[in-house]
A and B are shown apart, each in its own frame.
Chain A
Amino acid sequence: MACKNEYSILIHKYLDEEMTLLEKKKLENHIIKCKDCEGHMRELRKTVAIVQSASHIEAPINFTESVMNKLPKETNTNRWKTRLRKHPILLTAAVFFLVFVMSISSIWNDSTKEIVVKGDGHFIVDEERRVVIIPEGETISGDIIVRNGNIEIEGEVLGDITIINGEIIKSDISNGENYLASAGHVAGEIHEINQVFDWLWYRVKAFFSDVINFIN
């Protein structure tokens, strides 16, 4: 055991992979003769191998999520600055969107609750039920726009149908058939604006408050 200290240092150097060739040779020559040092080295190598073999531990699921939830809240200004920087086109799109929506909303706002129908052909306006009826045998030759009311189609529409703040309702005589089932009645496309409009309006309000915060 007299040799222990000197060779112990060499053994650790060996494990740290910091040996010169000369030192390596020296240790190898010694280990052949000295059982103590050979055992010491074998045990240390085994220890290292066992510690290294301890398989890697993974962070619990949702770890990232819970870290993110604990971060200090981002200010609206920061969030917008980031988004606009990341997507410059967003600014243009947002401005365009704003103009677009404002023009829609001005149309919307100056309208009263009166039923307004624009179309070329014969139709009936049922004020009480707030329904515009295209009677059987009648044809609307172009597009029809109905605002603040529903539409019931028993006849034919050759163009598009646009309904603002209303919907297509089933005709009484359709025998439970969906209006789409009798698609022959409508040649063009059908647009129901109210839901879309609600959504737009919601987005615009949110956008306005963000823009105001951003400008401030």
Chain B
Amino acid sequence: MDAVVKKIIKEVKKGDQQAFSELVELYKDKVYQVAYRMLGNSHEAQDIAQEAFLRAYTNLDSYDVNRKFSTWLFRIATNLAIDRIRKKKPDFHLEDHVAGTEDLNYYSQIATEEELPEEQVVKFEMQEWVQKEIMMLPPKYRSAIILKYMEDLSLKEISEILKLPVATVKTRIHRGREALRKRLRDS
């Protein structure tokens, strides 16, 4: 995988723009998922995920090939998402959290109309719950939890993505976990 990615990056750096599409294909779901989980709606998620790839393309020369490409890409995506959250902060309150799940609600409504098996409905509800609760977390806990449990990354990788000491990442994950636990118990 790493060898393939390195080869593609080499091609892109030589000027083969088309080769970049292979990188997008490889990472689009992961990057989109980070953006979606951070922002809570598909419109902004797509915006940020695309922007992340565009930045990666234009700044490819500053990428250190000896490091993991995904770490670098996730860092760009996470920073963009956090910036976006900061910018819209004035109208972002805990009360608004339901707005963040509208897409999932929409899908689950469609799903219900089509009378999905009960198991699937439960799954949708769980998805909704998870997204809603993640949106309630302060962004710094949110990013740590998403990277750890949705992208399945190691503490070390997360610390590189967020440019934080591993100990700080741990604390954020602990606090995020505790916050989610309390909400699960109260729900």
Contacts and interface: CB of A to CB of B under 8 A. Distances in A.
B28 A82 contact: no
Interface string B41-64: 010001001100110011000000
A82 B131 contact: no
A71 B19 CA distance: 12
Contacts of B130: 50-51, 53-54
Interface stretch (A62-70, A95-103, A134-142, A170-178): A62-70
Q: Chain A: interface secondary structure?
A: helix
Interface string A56-93: 11111001101110111010001101100110000000
Contacts, number: 105
Contacts of A94: none
A58 B24 contact: no
Interface in A1-36: 12, 15-16
- Of A56, A57, A74, most buried by chain B (CB within 10 Å of CB) is A57
Of B24, B58, B173, which is in contact with the most chain A CB atoms at under 10 Å from its CB? B24
A44 interface: yes
Interface of B: 14-18, 20-21, 24-25, 28-29, 31-33, 36-37, 42, 46, 49-50, 53-54, 57-58, 123, 126-127, 129-131, 134, 145, 149-150, 155, 170, 173-174, 177-178, 180-181, 184-185
16 contacts: A47-B181, A50-B184, A51-B149, A52-B150, A54-B130, A54-B131, A56-B150, A57-B37, A59-B28, A59-B31, A59-B46, A60-B42, A64-B25, A66-B50, A68-B24, A71-B17
Given A44-B181, A47-B184, A66-B50, 8 more contacts: A12-B174, A12-B177, A16-B173, A50-B130, A67-B24, A70-B50, A82-B15, A82-B16
